[in-house]
Structure 1
Amino acid sequence: MKIADLYKLYIQHGLVDTDTRNIRKNTLFFALKGDNFNGNKFANDALKKGAKFAIIDESEFKTSDAIILVEDVLKTLQELASYHRKILAIPIIAITGSNGKTTTKELINTVLSLKYNTTATKGNLNNHIGVPLTLLSMTKATEIGIVEMGANHLNEIAFLSKMINPDYGYITNFGSAHLEGFGSLEGVVKAKSELYDYLIKNNKKVFVNSKDAIQIEKTKNASIILFEDSLILLDASPFVKLSFKSIQIATNLIGTYNFSNICAAITIGTFFNVPVKKIKESLENYFPSNNRSQVIDTDCNKIILDAYNANPTSMEAALESFKVFSANSKVIILGDMFELGEYSDKEHQSIVDLATSFNFDKLFFVGENFYKTENKHFMFKTFDDLKNYLQENPLNKKSILIKGSRGMALERVVKFC
């Protein structure tokens, strides 16, 4: 079936699903495949649960006219999203970066949604599957789209940019993330800058943090919109307070590392003519979730939970911020950082050395990578080892930073603090 014909079916219902556990009535079910699953096997199940059509790429599962056979389901999904994007006559903002892209996307959406009907990436569905699903969730009512892009290899951002065809772009920063796939920090910069390459080639606009030397260098041939000059950081102990056009904004975000994320949202909101008072209102009413920069008060301790993900750059930023955190007794619980490849041992040791230099009251490290480092602190090879220790030696009246890669799931520590 041609994409134009498939689009006619999609536009009748405007729904796309890829998981039979969450099928919506009259949706188009795309039978994606992975290393451990084959969506083709669930085509009939999707129809029984209410899907109008199921798109498959294995002929043995075509058992009715409601099941559409294509050469490659994933490629078809992506082509359908690209086709839909061309039909949509709306501005789209694309966001990528090593750290803070999901928080920045949420903040931008929070600000713009006070004036516009926005559609933004849900959670961190920012890959070759999540991006097309985000585009296909946009409707005629959408006035501005906000799409987050993630990548761990070269050419992924270029591929996603072509699909999105953004009118505006923003890169949060360039840090030591996914070094296993990118090979080096230079590889990270090259990969993330694929968004710049696309925007420059297509005469689109780029939002730029004027204090980021790499951003300035990489956008010298671009049409740029610099961060607002009047943005001034006032405090971050723990919550970020700032001044913008002589108006103070008190956010619920912690750490100096979130200042640039907030600045991006303010700059973009201002560019799209959101009133300053509305920007202030939206940012002061935004509360982080999903284990990102959350402040939790338990019966015994104050916890800074930043356990959604971690890489050397974000780990260093979190430690630097926690260093100036106002508290009598500070404890860190850090979990392994993943996807660092040959740099893993060096980067984990660097974080241990940095944390040690800050003289926190107690330092806990958990995971096989941290366990191999040279340090005299509390080391635990597994989460259960850490859990057992904390149950036998509870922390009390402490301020605790918890951070680690998603695979460590360190939010589980909260119940033991």
Structure 2
Amino acid sequence: MINLSLKDIAQITGGELIGDGDVLVSSVLTDSRIIGKSSGTLFFALKTTRNNGHKYIPDLLKNGVNLFVVSEKPRDKKVHGILVEDTLKALQELAFYQRRQLQGKFIAITGSNGKTVVKEWLFQLLSTRFKVYRSPRSYNSQLGVALSLINADHGSEVYIIEAGISQPGEMERLEEMIAPDVAVLTNIGEPHQENFTSYEEKTREKLALFRHAEVKVVPADCVPLQKLLLNNFTGYYAWSYHSSYGASVSVMSTGKKSVLTFKGRINHEVSIPYTDRASIENAITCFFTLHASGFDPKEFEIVFSKLEPVAMRMELKQGINNSILINDSYNSDIGSLAIALDFLLQQAGSGKRIKRVILSDIVQSGKKPEDLYDEVNKLLEEKGIDQLIGVGEAISDHAGLFTIPGHFYKSTGDFLKDIDQFHFSGEAILIKGARRFEFESVTEHLAYKVHKTTLEINLNRLAQNISVFRGMLKPETRIMAMVKAFAYGSGSFEVARHLQFHGVNYLAVAVADEGVELRNAGVTLPIVVMAPEMQSLDTLFRYHLEPEIFSFDILDAVIAEAKALGESSYPVHIKLDTGMHRMGFLPEDVDILIGVINDQNFLKIESVFSHLAAADEADKDDFTMEQIHLFEKNAEKIKSGIGYEFLKHILNSAGSERFTDYQYDMVRLGIGMYGVSAAGNEDLKPVGTFKTMVSAVKKVKKDETVGYGRKGVLTRDSEIAVIPVGYADGLARLLGNRTGYAVINGNKVPYVGNICMDLSMLDVTGLNIKPGDEVILFGDEPHINTVAEWMQTIPYEVITSISQRVKRVFTRE
């Protein structure tokens, strides 16, 4: 954490001081949407190709923040701060300074996969004997590493920092900031390869982290590394499955554990509770890192045998009594608590929901308990938490340090005995605890619905998909995100709040009721209603929803309603019919439309748009271009006729991928945002994973039949898994009788017999499948496009058919 004056930071960053230089800075902020305490907070106004932090300064001033690092001279005299050429570079200079104040061994980890797991497992291992700080979650970027160092605990004995790159030239700056004593490479693989010409180039870039490190740990079997080092690993701690390259490792897996045997520089063996290849290699990396760093791995045998899974994500679920529930019950430390609290505030919205935290003891912090829980209390206060439930001996013993209302229990069992006395209703609840407190039982008690079939929505992928589209667009092009039809089956207000957080400009719904739900959930973005109904016009105005105007009837009705309510210049969106022939004004209507608009002042055109009929079908591109030219001609005619500017947009998801030259002022993202590409873009990843679990497995003899109508005839003695999902959940009957398959433990298993209303059957013969095993119905595999092909339909129908009784679970890393 920092404790510097503004004058000190100006000197560190080489910037020009503005205002009072003696003001003390205790924290930094880079995201204006997440404000804790305002006093002593220094906001870095970062510039990206898509955004400019300077535009949020007026709002931050209203919220009490008045310390800024800027690259544009501020006009407001209330601003105190520092003027620099590059605000990100200034933040990194502050991180560089902070790093030099920290004593202890620095371990930096890079690689294509496994960085976060290795970091967290090293923390689990080393924190049993030392005071350890590690960068939170996946804070491994140019910004994330800087923040990790600025917020690092002074007095730690070991610092573990994750370093990631997505393009050439980035690692050199990270290496300067981290200055690692020990540099670790996990592997080289596919992620972020698009910005590198080869694996060798990416490997060379990652090795920049090793420039000044005393100790270098690498996997010698990594082919790009072998090419760069010409098999000469002198100066490296290299491990290999083949002893010719480095210290050799052999693996013996039985049941649910693996024994790793090391020979070469060190002869030893350890047991780990995993058998998958990724976990084995991550554990091997941890073993060699300990050895190379001067620690004796033999002293950590017991910890290796109990290595806990790393929770890479938080889950957002619907809670009981209209509450929302954030489950982060797999680890507990100050850094991850702060991140989880920010997510809680984001999802709670701007309404009056009570914000409650259920928190266990924070273990292995290395701090005195009184200092630790005083810091926790301050953090909860800063984030505006209303209620606390503390669980554990340590937090209960220090209950007197907490100034917010709270209840304390010595154990999870004690809390569960009392849990029904709390009337959790309409709250935003964060469940945050160390794994040994087994808070899963708390989550299960507070989660709404017990149906084991879920649609899991990956909010990180949603944000990543938006970024992929932004990469296709000009920086100034706006985005309207389609959240109609329950956000394409994904869960409307949870998705909408995440889209709002990630800076989309508009949301679009089908009918007014969908917009009202979003407003009640605290969504403040402009919301366009694509199919307004006459009987809902008063609702539109009451909740400030912006109607699509597609006919003279609806135009006249909206004008009349606006006039009756005393509105002026109320924003509306004019739909043109350029060939879809569904809704919209035809070209011959435009002159009359202009006249009606000019004869009133109750409405103002916010945008004019049209919809492409076949943007995803290359053989109809000539027709698509006809639509685009017709739209452009008539939009210009409207602008000339009414005498003012408005937004123009015609591209949907497919159009945004295939016709980017015609993005105009805005694009509308729908199915593409949820991970379905019209152009085979593999960077767009499925957001939703439809999953369930095996209820039962039974053996059925050859020539017997399975399911209604005896359609599932068995040609061999078989094992049949029954799963609690059917066509009432959205699993189409067309998938039955071996047309489609699900995935269990990586195995493709076909549907047997007809899909039933609430149950389905899968052929799992010879695969050792057991009740409770997870079943993937669609996600990465099988992909939703594949399922749509089986169903002889389109991905839209697949995802929007998922029943409301299927619990939506939202995850964020």
Shorter-chain TM range is 0.5 to 0.7
Q: Alpha carbons of 1:92 and 1:391: their partners in 2 closer, same or farther (altered >3 Å)?
A: same
Q: Secondary structure at the match of 2:47?
A: coil
Residue in structure 1 matched with residue 96 of structure 2 by the alignment: 82
Q: Secondary structure at the match of 1:146?
A: strand
Q: Secondary structure at the match of 1:152?
A: coil
* Preserved contact between residue 167 and residue 199 of structure 1 (Cα < 8 Å): no
Tell me, in whole angstroms, the C-alpha distance in 2 between the residues paired with 1:74 and 1:411: 35
Q: Alpha carbons of 1:133 and 1:30: their partners in 2 closer, same or farther (altered >3 Å)?
A: same
> Aligned to 1:250, which of 260, 273, 277?
273
Residue in structure 1 matched with residue 377 of structure 2 by the alignment: none
Residue in structure 2 matched with residue 161 of structure 1 by the alignment: 175
Tell me, in whole angstroms, the C-alpha distance in 2 between the residues paired with 1:127 and 1:242: 34
Tell me, in whole angstroms, the C-alpha distance in 2 between the residues paired with 1:204 and 1:86: 17
> Aligned to 1:148, which of 149, 155, 162?
162
- The alignment's C-alpha RMSD in Å is 4.9
Q: Alpha carbons of 1:71 and 1:214: their partners in 2 closer, same or farther (altered >3 Å)?
A: closer
Q: Alpha carbons of 1:15 and 1:231: their partners in 2 closer, same or farther (altered >3 Å)?
A: farther
Q: Secondary structure at the match of 1:290?
A: coil
Q: Secondary structure at the match of 1:84?
A: helix
Q: Work out whether 1:116 is the aligned partner of 2:130.
A: yes
Tell me, in whole angstroms, the C-alpha distance in 1 between the residues paired with 2:259 and 2:791: 37
Residue in structure 2 matched with residue 405 of structure 1 by the alignment: none
* Preserved contact between residue 272 and residue 304 of structure 2 (Cα < 8 Å): no
Letter of the 2:130 partner, please give it. Y
* Preserved contact between residue 96 and residue 192 of structure 1 (Cα < 8 Å): no
> Aligned to 2:29, which of 7, 17, 31?
17
Residue in structure 2 matched with residue 190 of structure 1 by the alignment: 201
> Aligned to 2:750, which of 350, 361, 375?
361
How far did residue 247 of structure 1 move?
A: 4.3
How far did residue 138 of structure 1 move?
A: 2.2
Q: Secondary structure at the match of 1:22?
A: coil
How far did residue 174 of structure 1 move?
A: 1.4
How far did residue 132 of structure 1 move?
A: 0.8
Flag structure 2 segments of 5+ consecutive residues without an equivalent: 1-9, 241-246, 262-267, 315-329, 331-439, 445-449, 462-672, 687-739, 752-775
Letter of the 2:272 partner, please give it. I
TM-score by length of 1: 0.67
Tell me, in whole angstroms, the C-alpha distance in 2 between the residues paired with 1:218 and 1:308: 37
Deviation string, structure 1 residues 139-159 (Cα, Å, up to 9, x no partner): 431322222122222222233
Q: Alpha carbons of 1:275 and 1:22: their partners in 2 closer, same or farther (altered >3 Å)?
A: farther
Bigger helix share: 1
How far did residue 242 of structure 1 move?
A: 3.2
Residue in structure 1 matched with residue 253 of structure 2 by the alignment: 235
Tell me, in whole angstroms, the C-alpha distance in 1 between the residues paired with 2:785 and 2:136: 37
Deviation string, structure 1 residues 362-405 (Cα, Å, up to 9, x no partner): 675558x956679965798658733625779x8xxxxxxxxxxx
Alignment of 1:167-182 (within 5 A): 167-182=181-196
Letter of the 1:263 partner, please give it. I
Residue in structure 2 matched with residue 2 of structure 1 by the alignment: 11
Tell me, in whole angstroms, the C-alpha distance in 1 between the residues paired with 2:191 and 2:144: 20
Residue in structure 2 matched with residue 225 of structure 1 by the alignment: 237
Residue in structure 1 matched with residue 432 of structure 2 by the alignment: none
Tell me, in whole angstroms, the C-alpha distance in 1 between the residues paired with 2:798 and 2:309: 32
* Preserved contact between residue 193 and residue 202 of structure 2 (Cα < 8 Å): no
Letter of the 1:133 partner, please give it. L
Q: Alpha carbons of 1:240 and 1:62: their partners in 2 closer, same or farther (altered >3 Å)?
A: farther
Deviation string, structure 1 residues 252-278 (Cα, Å, up to 9, x no partner): xx7322211122122223434256354
Q: Secondary structure at the match of 2:146?
A: helix
Q: Alpha carbons of 1:46 and 1:269: their partners in 2 closer, same or farther (altered >3 Å)?
A: farther
Tell me, in whole angstroms, the C-alpha distance in 1 between the residues paired with 2:26 and 2:142: 20
* Preserved contact between residue 103 and residue 155 of structure 2 (Cα < 8 Å): no
Residue in structure 2 matched with residue 386 of structure 1 by the alignment: 799
Tell me, in whole angstroms, the C-alpha distance in 2 between the residues paired with 1:282 and 1:232: 16
Residue in structure 1 matched with residue 399 of structure 2 by the alignment: none
Residue in structure 1 matched with residue 302 of structure 2 by the alignment: 280
Q: Secondary structure at the match of 2:46?
A: coil
Q: Secondary structure at the match of 1:98?
A: coil
* Preserved contact between residue 154 and residue 191 of structure 1 (Cα < 8 Å): yes
Q: Alpha carbons of 1:365 and 1:81: their partners in 2 closer, same or farther (altered >3 Å)?
A: same
* Preserved contact between residue 30 and residue 56 of structure 1 (Cα < 8 Å): yes
Letter of the 2:258 partner, please give it. K
Deviation string, structure 1 residues 56-81 (Cα, Å, up to 9, x no partner): 22213452362322222112111221
Q: Secondary structure at the match of 1:193?
A: helix
Residue in structure 2 matched with residue 206 of structure 1 by the alignment: 216
Q: Which has the larger radius of gyration?
A: 2
* Preserved contact between residue 92 and residue 145 of structure 1 (Cα < 8 Å): yes
Letter of the 2:278 partner, please give it. Y
> Aligned to 2:290, which of 256, 269, 272?
269
Deviation string, structure 1 residues 224-281 (Cα, Å, up to 9, x no partner): 12349585544386x5533463443325xx7322211122122223434256354532
Tell me, in whole angstroms, the C-alpha distance in 1 between the residues paired with 2:676 and 2:100: 37
Tell me, in whole angstroms, the C-alpha distance in 2 between the residues paired with 1:173 and 1:365: 29
Residue in structure 2 matched with residue 406 of structure 1 by the alignment: none
Deviation string, structure 1 residues 116-147 (Cα, Å, up to 9, x no partner): 32222211121111111111122431322222
How far did residue 90 of structure 1 move?
A: 3.5
* Preserved contact between residue 240 and residue 255 of structure 1 (Cα < 8 Å): no
Alignment of 1:60-71 (within 5 A): 60-64=74-78, 66-71=80-85
Tell me, in whole angstroms, the C-alpha distance in 2 between the residues paired with 1:171 and 1:216: 13
Q: Secondary structure at the match of 1:386?
A: helix
Q: Secondary structure at the match of 2:801?
A: helix
Q: Secondary structure at the match of 1:95?
A: strand
Residue in structure 2 matched with residue 322 of structure 1 by the alignment: none
Tell me, in whole angstroms, the C-alpha distance in 2 between the residues paired with 1:11 and 1:380: 63
How far did residue 49 of structure 1 move?
A: 5.2
TM-score by length of 2: 0.37
Letter of the 2:29 partner, please give it. D
Identical-pair percentage: 23
Tell me, in whole angstroms, the C-alpha distance in 2 between the residues paired with 1:383 and 1:276: 55
Greater relative CO (CA pairs within 8 A, separation 6+): 1
* Preserved contact between residue 105 and residue 146 of structure 1 (Cα < 8 Å): yes
Tell me, in whole angstroms, the C-alpha distance in 1 between the residues paired with 2:47 and 2:22: 21
Deviation string, structure 1 residues 174-206 (Cα, Å, up to 9, x no partner): 1122233224xx2x4422432324524x36321
Residue in structure 2 matched with residue 289 of structure 1 by the alignment: 311
How far did residue 411 of structure 1 move?
A: 5.8
Q: Secondary structure at the match of 1:263?
A: helix
* Preserved contact between residue 161 and residue 195 of structure 1 (Cα < 8 Å): no
Tell me, in whole angstroms, the C-alpha distance in 1 between the residues paired with 2:66 and 2:24: 10
Letter of the 2:36 partner, please give it. I
